[in-house]
Chains A and B, each alone.
Chain A
Amino acid sequence: MALRIAIDTGGTFTDVIALDEETGDQFAIKTPSTPADPSLGLLAGIDEVLDAAGAARTEIGQILHGTTTATNAVLEHKFEGLGLLVTEGFRHLIEIARQSVPDGYGNSFFWVKPRRLVPLHLVREAAGRMRHDGSELVPLDEESVVAAADELVALGVDRFAVCLLHAYANPAHENRVGTLLAERHPDIHVSLSSVVLPEYREYERAMTTLIDVMVKPYCKTYLGHAERSIRERSGAVPFLIMQSNGGIVTSAKAAEKPVTMLVSGPAGGVLGATHMARLADRRNVLTLDVGGTSTDVSLVRNLTPQLTSHATIENYPVKSPMLDIETVGTGGGSLAWIDDYGALKVGPRSAGADPGPICYRRGGTEPTVTDAGLALGRLPEALIGGGLKLDADAARAAYEELGRKLEIAPEEAAAGVLEIASANQVHGIRRVTTTRGLDPGDYAMVAFGGAGGLFAAEVADFLGIATAVVPPNPGNLSAFGLHVSDVKRDYVRTCVRQQSSHDPDELEALWSALEDAGRDEIAAEGVARGAIDLVRSADVRYVGEGHEVPVPIPPGTAGTDAVETMWRDFHRVHESTFGFHYEGRQDVEVVSLRVQAVGRVHRPEIRPLESGGGEAAPVANRRVYWRDGGWIDCGIWRRGDLGVGAALAGPAIVEEYGSTTVVPDSWQLTVDGYGNLILEKSS
């Protein structure tokens, strides 16, 4: 037996799915997370899933890990010990930031600048200067570096970010700083901006480098501990980490550059959803991952999750390639409340896991989204597969109270809360679609997470989406997604050249160098060279534009042909992104060259289900409330009873362990060959 074990560590729970590579059998468990040292929960999860599979520690073939721990470290503001070294003249770089005051006009009167990652007394300057073309203007003053480092270490700095001007064009000064620091202060952690993010825009690069070095000790420690324990118990088992870009790398690589792990956890969900979309024969989908406190949405085009490099965590920009995931502060545990002016609000405050919704009877007193689902009959009073018995009376009482305050019927209040929560999710989906120039109506939806099935049809209705897919085991799709990932690393080099004056051989040489680095690093992780794909792209703009568009270079285009293709295709990409182009009228410039190196690894095969056994009878009937239909008697189905090809018409409810799928009136449901529930709007 060879088990692949995937562990998705969240803030509260750790989900584990083991997959038997020979039989295709899956085993899933859930165990509490251990934020102080996430390796403890991780190791416990491995043992628990081995128990469930009846396997020994020596039967593990591979371990995959996705995590939100890096993000949580940032959110918990663990800033102590950070120091920053910048170019002479730029000490106030992060105090100034981009001079932005968020949101509204006149906010500069009252807005208070948030705390910086590094207080100013822990920022030092180094003399020396590079030009934007990578040539050296002033040599590095090594004495100023050493003096700065000594002072900062004396002040308690143990994590050191280095961001020198134009280091993306020539890292020589930063490399030298790295060497000096390693010699003089071997115990401190250092991140160089030219390694973390070799792209122009000094503020964003400095911030990304700071975030990287900030989470480095934490990630290094717990990943190292996990790796050692795994080796002791199970031998030389590959231990691979999901990165924000949707690819996996070895834990050692991940710990070197932990900024690439920031949305590791949600990335697993997107990959899982992409995989199920492929099986369900949908190439363009929106993913909707509805958890307890928030909802993650993202866009998948042509079975490719979309990347962004403009993410922020709280107010802090992080420009590392990551899946374009938008988080909305509404989930199953979100609270419904009335503001001082009588307006009904949902979230962003949440009852969380503790105390949880009122119906959990763990001390929650404010009505949540989950309580609304229960009060309306959309969620069951007892969860299938045992576990919690929910207190529907308490949920109804809470909505009696809310409705009384709003002077509307209690069920209207509860249904309204679900509709507002859906609308909040819709706003998030618009941020990844219409704000990118895309129409969500052109996409299908894959809904998962514990409450994905509760919202799928209602959110789809808002957006004109005609099809929603609820995959099997929607509660642990993020862990499942770890099983279907490739090894992936991104390489970038900023190099601003104009089409009218560029040297194609120079650009080609830079691109080839990135490819060589990618090929070598992926091969070093044990991937056969024949299974490595190198995908080129470039960030290009018209001269004078402040922002670039990514231009993909088709596979197989190499040499200066690739450079030619980049110039030519840019106009087409600009047209499809922005709706216009200036081909032949304006000069074009490339800003950054990129290579994504992908090592294709063995993926477990997800086998189709046995067909037949399709039709089933409802296990019960229940009155369910709908805003457009009132109380209607609805059939309640067990998901496990619905075989391949089963079909039913809404209104109906499908229940399974840990999740419930709502099929409203005017929607119908079928089950496809892989067990996906396919919800379709009746025409």
Chain B
Amino acid sequence: MSKPRKEARQLGPVELEIITGTIRSAELEIEAAVERTSRSPMIRDQHDYRVALFDARGRKLTGRSYSALVEPVFEYFGEDDIHPGDVFFWNDPYNSSGGIGHIPDLCSTLPIFHEGRLIGFSQVFGHHDDVGGSVPGSLPVHAEDMWTEGLVIPPIKLYERGKVNEAAFRIVERNSRLSEHLRGDLDAEIGAAMLGSRRVVALAERYGADTLEAAFDAMIENCAEAIRRELLPRIADGVYAWEDYVENDGVDAPRLHAMRVTMTKTADRILLDFTGTDREAKGPINWAIDYSDGKFVRKWMGPVLRSLASSPERAAEIDMNEGVLDVIDVKFPEKGTLVTPNFGKATGMRFFILLRSLGIFAALLSKATGGQMPADHETIRIWGLHGGASNRDFFLFREVLGGGGPGRPWADGSDVVHIVPNSRNLPAEFSETRYPVMVEKLGLARDSGGAGFRRGGFGYDKRIRTLQSCRLLSNADRALVNTYGVNGGRPGSTYSIAVEDGGGELRDIAGMADNIEVPEGATVRIRTTGGGGWGDPLLREPDLVAYDVECGLVSEDSAAEEYGVVLNMAGTRPEVDEAATDTRRMELRAKRGALPMFDRGPYVEAARAAGRLDWPEGWQDPDAGWWAETAAEAAE
């Protein structure tokens, strides 16, 4: 029989399960605390913040959020200058080990101590409404350096041994157009991180710091093991290359800024090499990730692998923590590219390329799995209106709008998804009460989802009327280049924003725009991107197409042209004309060539046809020679 035990317990399956569950529960508690106490809609409703718990070495333990890094604490302060009650604070994209990508993200990091021993870190960072710079909202689309973008804070202590650095706080507040929001949000984030610390301390008290450390090791190893056992075997070993583009840097005329990645897959590792990526941009689309062995971007891209799990439910269970680093390596090109920008280059819109990195990884995996990965989707763009005669009645109405999700082998794309977990859009009834706007339409954009055996999800079709004159901003990519379709699937539609002035004139606005004058009574029309389609649209079940037509989500034209489905529209519900559909599909098949693995849509096709796509040494068109795996079936 087991011996009575009074000492701290050794790590066994029971302790591991409880510690793992408690860390997960603590992460949810920190999130709830941020939401309960923060001020700005950006944090509260749109959930643009991340929380994380780390071990004493700065290794990430939690999986929901990608989080920033703890490395700047070690780098700037060192182990001897980390004390109970300290709060480390920064937003400097070039002094955050690659963990903070743009200046509105203010990051607070608290060390956790138990009996004088450092046992971990608790961290919260949020995307704040306004941190100064040249335009309201602190995302100037024409910025050519980071000082234009707002107040830059290198790693400092906002609290030192529990004592607040009031001077630093005052400087930060003074530099914001919305200082009330900012102070409230920072207080909330720090308070929430403290709550997380207490949960880790309680675990150390119950199980002992050594057992806790052993549990953290096991949690990280379990993540790596799950990836090795469940996900890597589905990827064929080999070397694969792919690229995708950011289309507009806000400064130069629109052109394709390419991010290029070569993936080398071996039995138990993946190497992602960014060599070949285009030069850094003048405008704010750079992303400084070549720090600390690329730890940030490895953890950021890792979760894409989960789409290879046995089911979507299983995918959601796989916790992606620091264990990702045991599986994914990265290699960066020399300084001066989009992902290795020189110090001080503007980064405000780095979320474009950050999303491109996920889409490129997914496409590389499509190549290596016979097209079994989801298609493309674009999930973040910001648009807004601001105005007011003075600082007193200044308003900033800003929405982060999702786009259609990707078609994938197991399902159509979900509609208007946002990559930020649990992000929420602004209810019309809130917007109309709070801001001088009227929401005339909150809809899904017809035909926006890329056609496919499993089609892309639909983007937004929103119409907002202005009730006073104001200025418009738009921070959006994919206004020219479509979201790509995979394995025979068609691309999703692009983003567009236009202003219909009183006279019925429609004025198209570029995806990247600031301070566009909008008169009172105008209507702003926004359509966000649809998701890329997956698989041959001519194989889609005709009944599903008929239903989308009945709901007004797919037009009759699109049903006939993209899906080859002929409908009888005479009755109360559309009916599939089976004979005509068979004929139509046969005609369409005869007309078209082999289906490509990737379909990037008309803008890139035109550039390719005109010879405007070119590649650095050692590169060639990464789409060439890749065909859909379903093409053969389709021909039968």
Chain A residues with Cβ under 8 A from B410's Cβ?
Answer: 110, 112
A424 (CB) vs chain B CBs: closest residue: B21
Contact present for B39 and A545 (CB under 8 Å): yes
Q: Which candidate, B8-16, B585-593, B599-607, is the interface stretch facing chain A? A: B8-16
Please tell me if B79 contacts chain A, counting CB pairs below 8 Å.
Answer: no
A104 touches B303 (CB 8 A): yes
Residue numbers in A under 8 Å from B550 (CB-CB): 121
Q: Give Cα distance in the complex from A236 to B374, angstroms.
A: 63
Are A132's CB and B444's CB within 8 A? no
Instruction: Pick the residue among A89, A121, A420, A542 that contacts B14 (CB under 8 A).
Output: A420
B589 to chain A, nearest CB (A): 29
- Whether, in the assembled complex, B509 has its beta carbon less than 8 Å from a beta carbon of chain A, the answer is no
A99 to B414, CA, bound (A): 10
Chain A contacts of B460 at CB under 8 A? Answer: 96
From A99, A344, A435, contact of B418 by CB (8 A):
A99
Check B551 for interface membership: any CB of A closer than 8 A. yes
Cβ contact within 8 Å between B36 and A435: yes
Q: Does B257 make an interface contact (CB < 8 A)? A: no
Is B422 in contact with A406, judged by CB distance below 8 angstroms? Answer: no
Given contacts A89-B463, A96-B416, A200-B430, contact A546 B44 (CB under 8 A): yes
Checking A111, A423, A628 against B417 with a beta-carbon cut-off of 8 angstroms, the contacting residue is A111
Q: A92-B443, A202-B427, A546-B44 are in contact. Are A120 and B21 (CB under 8 A)?
A: no
A427 to B26, CA, bound (A): 9
CA distance A96 to B25 in the complex (A): 28
A-binding segment of B62-70, B234-242, B248-256, B339-347: B62-70
Interface-centre pick from A92, A103, A436, A577 (highest chain B CB count, 10 A):
A92
| Cβ of B279 under 8 Å from chain A | no
Contact across chains for B33 and A435 when beta carbons are under 8 A apart: yes
Inter-chain contact A111/B3, CB cutoff 8 Å: no
Interface centre among B187, B427, B547 (most CB of A within 10 A): B427
Bound-state Cα–Cα, A505 to B411, Å? 55
Report whether B14 and A104 are in contact in the complex, using a CB–CB cutoff of 8 Å: no
Give the contact stretch, choosing among B94-102, B263-271, B398-406, B625-633.
B398-406
Contact: B408 with A110, CB < 8 Å? yes
The answer for the CA separation of A234 and B307 in the assembled complex, in Å, is 62
Residues of B within 8 A of A430 (CB): 25, 29
Closest to A96 in B: B416
Task: Tell me the complex Cα distance, A633–B220, Å.
Answer: 41
Given known contacts A111-B414, A344-B13, A202 and B429 CB-to-CB distance under 8 angstroms: yes
Please name the residue on chain B nearest to A420 by beta carbon. Answer: B17
Q: Is the CB of A106 within 8 A of B191?
A: no
Say if the beta carbon of A606 comes within 8 Å of chain B.
no
Docked-complex contact A628 and B37, CB < 8 angstroms: no
Once bound together, how far apart are the Cα atoms of A202 and B200, in whole Å?
39
Set of chain A residues within 8 Å of B498, measured between Cβ atoms: none
- Contact of B374 with A110 in the complex, beta carbons under 8 Å: yes
Report the interface size for chain B: residues with CB under 8 A from the other chain.
100
Q: Is the beta-carbon distance between A89 and B41 smaller than 8 angstroms? A: no
Is B12 a contact partner of A106 (Cβ separation < 8 A)?
no
Q: Which of A101, A419, A435, A630 contacts B419 (CB 8 A)?
A: A101
**Residue among A89, A131, A343, A628 with the highest chain B CB neighbour number at 10 A:** A89
Q: Mark A376-415, 1 if CB is under 8 A from B, else 0.
A: 0000000000000000000000000000001011011001
Least distance between B622 CB and chain A CB atoms (Å): 20
| Residues of B with C-beta under 8 A to A98 | 424-425
A90 proximal to B (CB < 8 A)? yes
In the assembled complex, B432 has its CB within 8 A of some CB on chain A = yes
A580 to B17, CA, bound (A): 36
Contact of A112 among B414, B433, B552 (CB under 8 A): B414
- Residue B329 lies at the interface, judged by CB distance under 8 Å to chain A: no
Contact, CB under 8 Å: B17 / A344: yes
Choose among A95, A108, A166, A542 the residue with the greatest number of B CB atoms under 10 Å from its CB: A108
Q: Quote the shortest CB–CB distance from B307 to chain A (angstroms).
A: 5
Q: Is B320 an interface residue (CB 8 A)?
A: yes
Whether A580 pairs with B442 at a CB distance below 8 angstroms is no
Question: Which residues of A are found within 8 Å of B14, using beta-carbon distances?
Answer: 344, 412, 415-416, 419-420
Alpha-carbon distance A542/B183, docked complex (angstroms): 14
A545 partner, pick from B44, B303, B422, B457, beta carbons under 8 A: B44
A237 is an interface residue with CB less than 8 A from chain B: no
**Which residues of chain A are near B6, meaning CB under 8 Å?**
628
CB distance from A110 to the nearest CB of B (A): 4
CA gap between A280 and B87 in the complex, in Å: 44
Please give, as numbers and ranges, the residues of chain B lying within 8 Å of A542 by CB-CB distance.
39, 180
A111 to B422, CA, bound (A): 12
**Roughly how many angstroms separate A636 CA and B40 CA in the complex, as a whole number?**
58
Decide if B414 touches A109 in the complex (CB within 8 Å): no
With A166-B429, A420-B18: A105-B13 Cβ-Cβ less than 8 Å? no
Beta-carbon contact of B425 and A102 below 8 Å: no
Pick from B2, B303, B316, B424: contact of A412, CB under 8 Å: B2
* Residue A555 at the chain B interface, CB threshold 8 Å: no
Q: Is the CB of A544 within 8 A of B421?
A: no
- State whether A435 and B29 are in contact (beta carbons under 8 Å apart), knowing that A96-B415, A108-B419, A121-B550 are contacts in the complex: yes
Assess whether A627 is interfacial by the CB under 8 Å rule: yes
> In the complex, which of the residues A92, A132, A435 contacts B432, with contact meaning CB atoms closer than 8 Å?
A132
Interchain nearest-CB distance for A592 vs B (Å): 12
Within 8 A of A (CB), among B332-379: 358, 362, 374, 377, 379
Distance A496 CA – B431 CA, assembled complex (angstroms): 12
Are B428 and A165 in contact (CB-based, < 8 A)? yes
Complex CA gap A631/B1 in Å reads 8
A110-B312 contact, Cβ under 8 Å, with A96-B425, A165-B428, A420-B14: yes
| Smallest CB separation, B32 vs chain A (Å) | 4
Contact with A along B381-406 (1 / 0, CB 8 A): 00000000000000000000110011
Partner of A427 from the list B21, B419, B439 (CB cut-off 8 Å) is B21
| B17/A546 in contact, CB under 8 A | no
Say whether A546 contacts B312, CB under 8 Å: no
Q: Does A203 contact B (CB under 8 A)?
A: yes
Q: Which residue on chain A has the smallest CB distance to residue B198?
A: A434
Tell yes or no: B502 within 8 A of A by CB: no
Give chain A nearest CB distance to B490 CB in angstroms: 18
Contact A437 B5 (CB under 8 A): no
Residues A89 and B442 in contact in the complex (CB < 8 Å), given A99-B418, A110-B316, A423-B21 = yes
Residue B553 at the chain A interface, CB threshold 8 Å: yes
Q: Does B174 contact A (CB under 8 A)?
A: no
Interface residues of B in 439-481 (CB under 8 A from A): 439-444, 457, 460, 463
Cβ of B41 and Cβ of A437 under 8 Å apart? Answer: no
Q: With A95-B415, A427-B21 as given contacts, are A103 and B12 in contact (CB-CB < 8 Å)?
A: no
Closest to B24 in A: A427
B184 at the interface (CB under 8 A from A): yes
A443 to B129, CA, bound (A): 38
Give the CA-CA distance A166 to B429 in the complex, in Å.
7
The interface residues of chain B lying within 8 Å CB-to-CB of A110 are 306-307, 309, 312, 315-316, 374, 408, 410
Closest CB of chain B to A489's CB: distance in Å?
24
Q: How far is the CA of A105 from the CA of B195 in the complex (A)?
A: 22
Taking a contact as CB atoms under 8 Å apart, the answer to whether B362 and A109 are in contact is yes
B residues near A (Cβ < 8 Å) are 1-6, 12-14, 16-18, 20-22, 25, 28-29, 32-33, 35-37, 39-41, 44-45, 63-66, 180-181, 184, 187-188, 191, 195, 206, 222, 225-226, 229, 303-304, 306-307, 309, 312, 315-316, 320, 358, 362, 374, 377, 379, 401-402, 405-406, 408, 410-411, 414-425, 427-430, 432-434, 439-444, 457, 460, 463, 547, 550-553, 572-573
Those 7 A-B pairs whose CB atoms lie nearest each other, nearest first: A416-B14, A106-B303, A435-B32, A113-B414, A89-B441, A427-B25, A98-B424
7 contacts between A and B (CB under 8 A): A100-B423, A101-B422, A111-B316, A426-B22, A544-B39, A544-B41, A582-B180
Query: With A100-B421, A579-B187 given, can you name 19 additional A-B contacts, CB distance below 8 Å?
Result: A98-B425, A99-B401, A99-B424, A102-B421, A105-B65, A109-B374, A113-B405, A121-B550, A201-B429, A341-B226, A343-B17, A343-B20, A409-B2, A412-B2, A542-B180, A544-B39, A544-B40, A580-B184, A585-B180
